[in-house]
Amino acid sequence: MKTLLKTVGAILVCLIVLLVVLSITGFGPRARTPGLWLKGNLVTTPVADWSFTDKIPTVQLQTETWYLLPHSVNINCVYYDGKLYLTSVYPGGTRRSWNENVERDPHVRIKIGDQLYDRKLTEVTDPAEKTGELQARATKYRQLKPPADMTTAHVYRVDDN
């Protein structure tokens, strides 16, 4: 029994050390592989004009998982009608982990370049706003066509906390 307790204790200590190291180094997402913490310079002032993101093809998004570790992904962004949007399209019902995390806790961290923005995502329910954003997305990302079935697209507006 003592050996089992020592082994479990050693494993827990190793996991804690690993998490501390990863929280310091960040371990952000790579290409299509999700990561953990995002590192950069935190911007605490409100952003009045997100139009600078028109030239940014990919941003990084950090959400919180149900097991209290961050989950970060690379995602495209769209500036539309004076606001910044993030979109997830999953035909065939394949959900993405970050969508489920946002449903549970809409507070996210967005990394654009070396800047971090703590914001809140609000799912767009207005059909006109959703359609407009999806059209702007198709214009920015020519390879992405608007979905035929609007229920497969989840559009999130980036709002201040």
Print the SS3 string covering the chain. Answer: CHHHHHHHHHHHHHHHHHHHHHHHHCCCCECCECECCCCCEEECCCCCCCHHHHHCCCEEEEEECCCCCEEEEEECEEEECCEEEEEEECHHHCCCHHHHHHHHCCEEEEEECCEEEEEEEEECCCHHHHHHHHHHHHHHCCCCCCCCCHHHEEEEEEECC
pLDDT of residue 10: 73
User: CB-side exposure of 66: number of CA atoms within 13 Å?
Assistant: 5
More confident residue, 150 or 114: 114
CATH 2.30.110.10 fits 2-159, yes or no: yes
pLDDT of 25 strictly over 60: no
Model pLDDT, residue 78: 96
- pTM greater than the 0.85 cutoff: no
Instruction: State pLDDT tens for residues 66-113.
Output: 998 999 999 999 999 999 999 988 776 667 889 999 999 999 999 999
The yes-or-no verdict on residue 18 having pLDDT over 90 is no
pLDDT reported for residue 153: 86
Average pLDDT of the chain, as a whole number: 87
Nearby residues of 31 by Cβ (< 8 Å), 6 or more positions away = 74
> Domain boundaries in the chain?
2-159
Each residue's pLDDT tens digit, 117-142 = 999 999 999 999 999 999 999 999 98
